[in-house]
Amino acid sequence: MIMEYTNNSCRPIHILFVGAGAVGCFYASRLHHPASNIHVSLVCRSNYSIIAKSGVTLKTHTFGDYQFKPAAVYSSISDAATSKEAPAEGWDYVVVTIKALPDVTDDSMDIEPLIKRAPTGKTCILLIQNGVGVEEPHRARFPSNPLISAVTIISAEQISQGVVRQNRWTRISMGTYSDGLGGKTWEAKQLNERGNQCVKELVHLFTEYGKLRDAEFYDEISNQHVRWHKICINASMNPSAVLSGGIGNADMVMDPELRMHLKGCMDEVFKAAPAILGTPFPEKLAKPDLILTSSERNKGGRPSMLIDWEAGRPMELEVILGNPVRIARRHGVEMPRLQSLYALLKSAQGRRDAEKASKKVLEQEALKVKSTL
């Protein structure tokens, strides 16, 4: 049953977003509704001082321009976990919108102080992140907490600190996560029931107060289908854009050899996901040929992995390539094209990081020598 939140006599809902980039700020702004006792706060990093002082300016295609003033703004997870102004009984929802980089940091360990602030099992964790397998570390660390896996398709960017622009479409598909396979044990089924209620509540909040038409409820398996379907796009387009020398999506699909390569990658996902989840992709999800055709119109589109590579930042290699390959292998399915992309890019990123570290050491040594002259 979904409760109606229409006045301040209803229970307050406290939501904390960890990650105040474009995606986090946009979705946080749509959920925040103090008049209905829905209070949304942010954990910020580099943009903390701006947002703490002025809030977030939203320039949106769908909702016009508006200002979002969070209930509270924290400079770090530690700040939020120890603040006397934070909810005494902890948050109802902790929403993770930072980039999933398990080879760099363990998000589940990072948010543990926030989850421990509440009674055991109270806080529902919502992951709005790319890739597959992002849920597993959280499920292992928080076995009693409802866990929601969300897949979003959104065109949004932070054009300056504290200023977010949303361009056209927005969709968020959500489903509970117990064991990734729909709840095979009694404990998983219990988590599923609690998680489904949280998903229904969030869909209600997003649609009723956030006015998002495309906030969708899915059961666990159906939602994993949606997540794997997005991998069909990300695991083919993202790494190929880097390895092809910085070519965008539309240009790649117009090149006959690259188009054949991309379709081969997508076909691997279409073969692996049904074997893992036990059911075929729903008919409504676009097949590889249609995805490639629609990508012809995405002129100027540059995958996020390419942007990260050019900026010298870590890429989402593990959740977009490594995890799919490993999960498929556990189910007796090989993904040779994706495995090759993963091996090549992991090596390239490792060499680049080693060169950067070596250069930094040389610069430090040069400074030491200079200081002794």
Mean pLDDT of successive 10-residue segments in the chain (373 residues)? 43 95 96 96 95 96 94 97 93 96 96 96 96 96 96 89 87 92 81 94 96 94 95 96 93 96 98 94 94 88 89 95 97 97 96 88 75 66
Residue 312 lies in domain: 225-354
Q: Do 202 and 235 lie in a common domain?
A: no
H/E stretch holding 327 reads helix 323-330
Residue 362 lies in a domain: no
Please give the tally of structural domains in the chain: 2
Q: Do 193 and 231 lie in a common domain?
A: no
Q: Do 242 and 197 lie in a common domain?
A: no
Residue 277 lies in a domain: yes
Give the span between the Cα atoms of 35 and 234, in whole angstroms. 39
SS3 category, 369: helix
Residue 368 lies in a domain: no
Q: Do 300 and 179 lie in a common domain?
A: no
SS3 category, 332: coil
- 330: domain CATH number is 1.10.1040.10
Give the span between the Cα atoms of 335 and 272, in whole angstroms. 8
Q: Do 34 and 181 lie in a common domain?
A: yes
Provide the strand spans (E) within the chain.
13-18, 38-43, 56-60, 64-68, 73-74, 93-96, 124-128, 147-160, 163-176, 215-218
Give first-to-last CA distance, the chain, whole Å: 74
Q: Do 41 and 122 lie in a common domain?
A: yes
Q: Do 229 and 210 lie in a common domain?
A: no
- 96: domain CATH number is 3.40.50.720
According to the model, what pLDDT value does residue 372 have?
66
Q: Do 201 and 268 lie in a common domain?
A: no
Q: Do 287 and 324 lie in a common domain?
A: yes
Give the span between the Cα atoms of 64 and 54, in whole angstroms. 18
Q: What are phi and psi of 175, to 5 degrees?
A: -150, 150
Q: Do 77 and 212 lie in a common domain?
A: yes
Q: Do 129 and 242 lie in a common domain?
A: no
According to the model, what pLDDT value does residue 2 have?
39
